[in-house]
Amino acid sequence: MRNARFLVCALLVLGALTGFAQKNKEQKKPKIVVGIVVDQMRWDYLHTYYDRFVSGGFKRLFDGGYSCENTFIPYVPTYTSAGHASVYTGSVPALHGIVANYWYNRHEKRDVYCTEDNSVKGVGSSSKYGRMSPKNLWATTVTDELRIASGFQSKVIGIAIKDRGAILPAGHSANAAYWFDNESGGFISSSYYMNDFPRWMSDFNNQKLADKYMMNDWNLLYPPGKYRHLNEDSAYFENDLPGGRNHFPHRFTQDKKHRYEAFKTSPFGNTLTFEAAKAAIEGEKLGSGTATDFLALSFSSTDYVGHTFGTQSLELQDTYLRLDKEMEGFLTYLDEKFGKDNYLIFLTSDHGVTHTAGFLNKYKLPGGALREHFQLKKYVSDIVKNNLKMEDAVIKITNDQIFLNRSLPAAELAVLKKLIIDSLSAQPYFSNVVDLERLSESSLPTIVKERILNGFNQYLSGDIQYVFRPGWYDYGMRGTKHGAWNVYDARIPLLFYGANIKAGKLYREVYMTDIAPTVAALLRVQAPDASIGRVIEEVVD
């Protein structure tokens, strides 16, 4: 009997090991991973535009892939650089150091840009836009970990219109990152990555595609009936295209000062990014080696268009419908290049966005633009000067934080904090104003407290945090902004598609910080060194 039991156990163990080995064998690593960040893509856009998408673009990813329907950003402020850094590090600004696009460094007494690096120079252009690198990012990325795990045989390339959208995802050890140069109208890099510009990218730039795209007006892709009309095309709360106007057809300015800003604020910035992505795959022979390669793409023009025209504009709808058709073409290209089961895609966003104040007011919804009602900087300066007779007590107001002069005696600093907090708390635009040093003692709801804490960096953050009431933001009536903890800024799409991914939907709450460890698990490499995220098991199983 004992021998029979032993035999049964042995067979069960052998079967389990065989099944595991078979599963491991079947789940071969993809030839290439394509990470896609659609800048400023709200979660609901996938559903709002679903019936107008073509079958082979976003619908293909959504229906044929795995969609995490409740994905949230677990920190504030919800800005572009912090979003890209958090997606790829699996971490939060408190740990990876990218707290915003710009921040005030009280030790250097100046504003710092997230990817600035004056120790390097541009490659591909002599303009100031080339002096960039990932040196301000404190943590490794999943792309770094892939490079390490492969003995640096995996190639990693980052491409975006925005420098921060290319550099931060590509990580520290990338082969290259490329971003758009406002002076030359082509992609550039920096000496951090290379000394000489690759021939394939020079050839790509020599096509002058941005200039060719701007030879025609920007008109609607489809007949007007294909679009929702919640606003008139020239709504008063829409901004103008740089150097242009706020309605169709949009004519690209010949004014050199605004020419490429207008290009970026159009769907054709996304078109250029797709073309550069294909050129990189061909030029670098991505996906053709023995190790998995990684192409990190960020589509920046959705953000420029969204800020300028708002969530309900014809311009934004047209941008997404064009992006959808181009996504279809890109997926077909990947099918033909690598085979349908040999590439892995994840698609997400760095943040959402709120509706324009004018749109909210038009439909009697709560919210508004702070600058139209209240001059925050002047108000704070005046109350400090009038009540405490202090001239240099407030150093900076940025990223919803107030930086105070910490050299003041402790008693004076305490009085100063109380005055500002009490005064701002009495204003109808804020739901909470808190002392960041005593955040744990505040009466904030746990979710808001946690998100502020995750965004608080002791070395880089301020002293007082103000939280807007829902729908309010620090901007004017024309255009819109993001940055808040609220669902409109913090809920993002998350899709996995391709190699080893089954179709499905997940409705439990997951976070932006879960993306990097999940991708790492799919590739069977270590998660980034500051990662606090968890593997989304439903995607990996």
d(CA 79, CA 399): 9
Report yes or no: 515 and 74 within 8 Å, Cβ to Cβ: no
Q: How far is CA 119 from CA 105, 108, 115, in A?
A: 18, 16, 12
- On the CB side of 209, how many CA atoms lie within 13 Å of its CA? 19
Per residue, the 3-state secondary structure of 302-329, as one string, reads: HHHHHHHHCCCCHHHHHHHHHHHHHHHH
Residue indicated by tokens 């007006």:
217
Report yes or no: 406 and 434 within 8 Å, Cβ to Cβ: no
Bridge partners, 346 (sequence order): 35, 496
φ/ψ of 156, rounded to 5, equals -130, 125
d(CA 80, CA 303): 9
- On the CB side of 313, how many CA atoms lie within 13 Å of its CA? 31
Query: Reduced to 3 states, what is the DSSP secondary structure of residue 126?
Result: coil
Q: Is 26 exposed, middle or buried (0-12, 13-18, 19+ CB in 10 A)?
A: exposed
Catalytic annotation, pick one of 71, 78, 80, 319: 80
Residue whose C-alpha is closest to residue 79's, from 457, 316, 329, 349 = 349
d(CA 58, CA 323): 9
Residue whose C-alpha is closest to residue 32's, from 288, 326, 273 = 288
d(CA 424, CA 404): 15
**Could you confirm whether 290 is annotated as catalytic?**
no
| DSSP 8-state assignment for residue 242 | T
- Please report how the helices 301-309 and 314-338 are oriented relative to each other, as an axis angle in degrees rounded to 10: 170
Query: Reduced to 3 states, what is the DSSP secondary structure of residue 431?
Result: strand
Residue whose C-alpha is closest to residue 165's, from 304, 322, 317 = 304
Residue indicated by tokens 């200039």:
211
Which residues participate in catalysis according to the annotation? 80
